[in-house]
């Protein structure tokens, strides 16, 4: 099914880019540096807790970087502080977006109730009636796990729910 390969093949990159909206230094692809695009984040409230290593965005969170937009009710960025070349740098470890999560880029849309990006493992997990579209093609399940470095995805079923895919073959 050429349509399904096209949808699933682009999902890990889409999910990764969506989660990387919050990372100012995350503008690399296969060793080539790309121009750093600004990140515009708006929310009803933002709280930085340096001692806990978190930045918490609450209420109507919308982050835009280039053509990518992520929206959620609540987003928490977890980071550690490390010394790099004699300077303290914040290194993002994990991002958790909750409540009406929606990620869009062009004709690609992903929705769910929760999205977690684990930077050290390079895994994005979208859960809570997770669905991803590219054009008319759609994949859905209780949870969709994107293994970014492996360029693969797993769609898992939930209680009383089966994995579903709708694919329109290329013409």
CATH number (domain holding residue 14): 2.60.450.10
| Structural domain count of the chain | 1
- Global confidence as pTM: 0.73
- Residue 9 placed within a domain: yes
**By three-state DSSP, how is residue 134 classified?**
strand
pLDDT, tens digit only, all 171 positions of the chain? 333 333 333 333 333 333 333 333 333 334 445 566 777 889 999 999 988 999 999 999 998 878 878 899 999 989 998 888 899 888 888 889 999 999 888 888 899 999 998 888 988 899 999 999 988 899 999 999 888 788 788 999 988 889 999 999 874
Task: Assess if residue 132 is contained within a domain.
Answer: yes
* Domain with 11 in it: 2-166
66 within domain boundaries:
yes
Give exposure, 126-141, as e/b (b: 16+ Cβ within 10 Å). Answer: bbbebbbbbeebbbbb
For residue 99, is it within any domain? Answer: yes
- Average confidence score pLDDT of the chain: 79
> Within a domain: residue 58?
yes
Of residues 4, 9, 14, the one with CA closest to residue 115: 14
Residue 76 lies in a domain: yes
87, burial (CB in 10 Å: exposed 0-12, middle 13-18, buried 19+): exposed
Mind listing the pLDDT tens digit for each residue in 55-95? Answer: 999 999 998 878 878 899 999 989 998 888 899 888 888 88
User: Does the residue 64 lie in any domain?
Assistant: yes
Cα separation, 100 vs 61, in Å, equals 10
| In-domain check, residue 171 | no
């Amino acid at each position: 099914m050429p349509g399904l390969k096209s949808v699933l093949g682009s999902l890990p990159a889409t999910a990764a880019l969506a989660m990387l909206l919050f990372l100012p230094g995350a503008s690399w692809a296969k060793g080539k540096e790309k121009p750093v695009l600004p990140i515009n984040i708006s929310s009803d409230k933002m709280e930085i807790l340096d001692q806990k290593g978190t930045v918490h965005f609450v209420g109507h969170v919308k982050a835009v970087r280039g053509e990518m937009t992520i929206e959620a009710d609540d987003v928490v960025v977890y980071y550690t502080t490390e010394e790099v070349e004699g300077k303290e740098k914040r290194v993002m470890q994990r991002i958790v977006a909750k409540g009406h999560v929606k990620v869009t880029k062009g004709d690609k849309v992903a929705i769910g109730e929760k999205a977690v990006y684990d930077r050290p493992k390079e895994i994005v997990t979208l859960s809570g009636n997770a669905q991803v579209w590219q054009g008319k093609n759609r994949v859905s399940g209780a949870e969709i796990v994107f293994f970014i470095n492996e360029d693969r995805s797993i769609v898992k079923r939930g209680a009383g729910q089966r994995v579903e895919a709708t694919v329109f073959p290329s013409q």
